[in-house]
A and B are shown apart, each in its own frame.
Chain A
Amino acid sequence: MKDANVRESLSAKRRLLMAAAATALLIALATLLAPLSPELRAYARGLAFAVLAGLSITLVAFVVALPLGALAASGPRVFDAALRFACDLVGSLPTVFVAAVLWAGSSSTIRFVCALGVLRGLEQAWLLRCEIVRLEAEDPESVPHGLGRTPLLAFLRRRMSIALGPLFVSASFSVAWLTALDAAVSQAGLRPANAVATWGPLLGSPQPSPLPALLAAGSVALLTVALHALFRPSRAV
């Protein structure tokens, strides 16, 4: 059984290569199709935004989530309470409204993307916090302790490596999450007039053109599967 599991899992290097190949395939496809029509050009521009913004959101979210989640789970209780309150606040509304307001209020696309990253980071920090607390509760050898009293390396090796699972699942949906928000904001008529070219209008406009919309949807699916495969853990763990 263990052999089968090991056989199923791919090495990190191969997974990274596969994800890069999927992205390169999409970029090549977009480059080829872009000159054919304005709608396909919009698709190509949307792809550039989706890839760059998706990566930025993932990066910012990890930067926010890792320290916050670890501190909330194993640090002073004030971090836990603050994170819970923050998550209750930002998570109580459909994200589409939060995104619409952030987009309207952001002076640049970079700020908007960073704000989305922070939003995502808070959600992932809570996932991480819950996972660490759960692992501690299920571990019979575990004793209540704070981050300050546990050797950091031991904490990172024993808890963080396992607890990062839900974070990776969440991270693999970043591009899909961004595109869904974009489509919903466009559909609701909340998209700023001067926004950059994205897939939102292709997917969320009242009368979308079938080919670019299909391409965009397929690309989202491919990117998400690639990210999911990239973050897929070894089953031998």
Chain B
Amino acid sequence: MRAAIRRLFGIALTLIALSVGMFWASANYARRPNNPQPSPFAALPVFFNPRPIGVRELSRDAVRAIARGEPSARAAQATLARLGGAALPYVLPALDSLDPRSRERVALSLTPVALRMEVARADELADGAQAVLFWTRFWQDRAIDFRTASVRHLTSRLAERSIALRREDLIHVDTFALPALIEDLGRVKSATDIPRVQRLSSVLSHITGLPVVCPPGAGVADARAVVDSWLEFWDLHGSEFSALDGPRRLASTFVETQYGKWLAAVLRGGLGRTQTGDRALDLVGRGLATTSFLLFVGLGVGFPLGVAWTRFERQRHQFATRAVSAVAGTVLAAIPCATFVRLFAASSAGLPCAMLLVTVTTAAWVSRHLARSTMSQSVTPIAAAFSVSAPLGATYPPFVLSAIVLVELIFRLPGLGRTAALSLACGDVNAWMAASLALASASLLLRHAADLIRPASPRPATGRP
């Protein structure tokens, strides 16, 4: 029991380490020049973010750039307009610390925010002095509304029932309400959840300007898709509208990384979404059947064939027969199966050809290894196969999986190997991670199974397996 737990713990630990390694690999690979589709999180550090950036830092930098009239002021104005209500608790109190000209520039930059919040008309904020006066009064009157607790209360009430006034109140605090709105979207389990998603997504769409709404007459699947879209938006931009303080800042050093974002998508279920919008878990489900079947063919047919081949070779006494068998085995194991496929088969041959290739390559590879292993001992090839199962179990999975990747690619079979290769090439991190983790799990299971089938042998006192 203890050994089984230790083995399972070892597999889990290896998979975690593997996920880190594979993520590093895909991030590293995606950094190559001329990458067609970089990840949306490519700007983030891969594993550790020493300086996570939240709304406080973004708004402070934007105010500074606008106040100084730097060349980057135009971009800073756009940033401030995008940050909207979430930036107001940091921007408006800071107005007093600026000189009059700078103050006017910053106040004017907030005009798009006021229009979106529906708290002023454009002509009321025509010049700098008017804008400063407006925002000073606004903060005196409305600062109390910019509190997390009151916004959460408003959002939960809107989620429960539709009242126009609640919607307006939320629009008045603009992006400050985003965390609460996203949280209250919740899960869509039945048709009763659809109206809630419709009400909240309408407000979200107004605040962010994104056309992601749940239209009247939408079904459960549509509502789920809308919720998923908003969650993806929040994964990508959430930190820009949140203040990173205290423990949250500490957590952000991991969460605000490429790996953290991927892990968040995994924990949300479905192993995240691929670039085509499919769930990565569905992709694994589709590819698993083909790859498992080829793996089974390799193990179930190719491996015994290799043992039989070695047995045949061992029983021959003529040097010529043994030599021909050895050369044939070596050649079959050596020639990349891609060449065989390309030269002697049409891509329409599909699965039967792939099965044949995996079987032949496995048989040749196993026979060569067993022939060498039995060479120095007087044991039968079957006993040798069991005896050397641990080392073969270590070297066989990467070999056979590489062969499976090749045949899947060439015959266009919808397997995990092809999915992993194509997703790595096009930078689809979620698809790559899902497919390669599934392959790695299969490989690890094979290795541990090989360890288990090895017959019990006297072990050294040191406890070495």
Contacts and interface: CB of A to CB of B under 8 A. Distances in A.
B330 A166 contact: no
Contacts of B26: 101
Interface stretch (B154-162, B166-174, B271-279, B388-396): B388-396
B447 A233 contact: no
Nearest to A216: B339
A172 B369 CA distance: 11
Given A166-B388, A187-B409, A188-B409, A203 B339 contact: yes
Interface residues of A, number: 72
A233 to B, nearest CB: 6
A210 B462 CA distance: 56
Contact of B376 (A85, A169, A173, A237): A237
B84 interface: no
B342 A130 contact: no
Contact of B457 (A7, A88, A91, A134): A134
Interface in B15-39: 17-18, 21-22, 25-26, 28-29, 32, 34
Contacts of A137: 457-460
Question: Which size bracket describes the interface of B in this complex?
Answer: 35 or more
Given A130-B391, A134-B388, A176-B335, A168 B372 contact: yes
A184 B444 contact: no
B221 to A, nearest CB: 34
B391 A233 contact: no
Given A91-B394, A213-B339, A130 B388 contact: yes
A214 interface: yes
A220 B335 contact: yes
A170 B436 contact: no
B436 A100 contact: no
Interface string A50-75: 00000000000000000000000100
Interface stretch (A22-30, A36-44, A221-229): A221-229
Nearest to A91: B398
A92 B375 contact: no
B49 to A, nearest CB: 22
Given A104-B28, A214-B343, A228-B330, 11 more contacts: A91-B395, A92-B398, A94-B401, A94-B402, A94-B420, A105-B29, A166-B369, A190-B424, A217-B340, A233-B375, A235-B375
18 contacts: A87-B394, A88-B10, A92-B440, A93-B22, A96-B421, A97-B405, A126-B394, A126-B395, A131-B391, A134-B388, A136-B460, A179-B336, A180-B338, A188-B425, A203-B339, A214-B343, A217-B340, A220-B336
